[in-house]
Amino acid sequence: MLSSLPPREREIVDILYERGASTVTEIGDAMPDELSGSAIRAMLKRLEAKGFVAREQSERGFLYAPSVPEKAASKSALGQVVRVFFNGSATSAAAALLGMQDEMSGDELDELEKLIAQAREGRAK
């Protein structure tokens, strides 16, 4: 899904997820390097045509926002990482994450345990 986008377009979508609905000027201000407004508008037009961005008129001009919910985009991106790097195995991906336990807080590990318990309950139904 989002991983199929060229880097600049992906950067714009990431800015929109982070900042919410934004004008071309606001997007340009958030970009790490300077791009012309016309270049940003051209990328936004392509993103709108691909279904990644929606445009709405406001008193500030056109506002652009992601049209794919962030959770759905994250799930799709993670699914691709699991397929590519872990041969489709969610268990291998989880094991890799748990291998990073030194970087995780106790609260994060508790949250993982809670999510595993909820997944088990969902399977039992």
- In a domain, residue 20? The reply is yes
Comparison of pLDDT for 28 and 94, the residue scoring more = 28
Residues 57 and 102 reside in one and the same domain:
no
- In a domain, residue 60? The reply is yes
Residues 6 and 57 reside in one and the same domain:
yes
Q: What kind and span of H or E run contains 64?
A: strand 61-66
CB 53 within 8 A of CB 65: yes
- Tell me the three state secondary structure of residue 31: coil
pLDDT digits (tens, 9 = 90+) for 50-93: 888 999 998 988 999 998 877 776 776 677 778 888 888 888 88
For the entire predicted model, the pTM comes to: 0.62
- In a domain, residue 74? The reply is no
Host domain of residue 10? 2-66
In this prediction, residue 125 carries a pLDDT of 59
Residue in 13, 40, 88, 64 with CA at minimum distance from that of residue 4: 13
User: Rounded to whole angstroms, how far apart are CA atoms 52 and 43?
Assistant: 11
- In a domain, residue 23? The reply is yes
- In a domain, residue 119? The reply is yes
Residues 58 and 19 reside in one and the same domain:
yes
- In a domain, residue 99? The reply is yes
Average of per-residue pLDDT across 31-59: 93
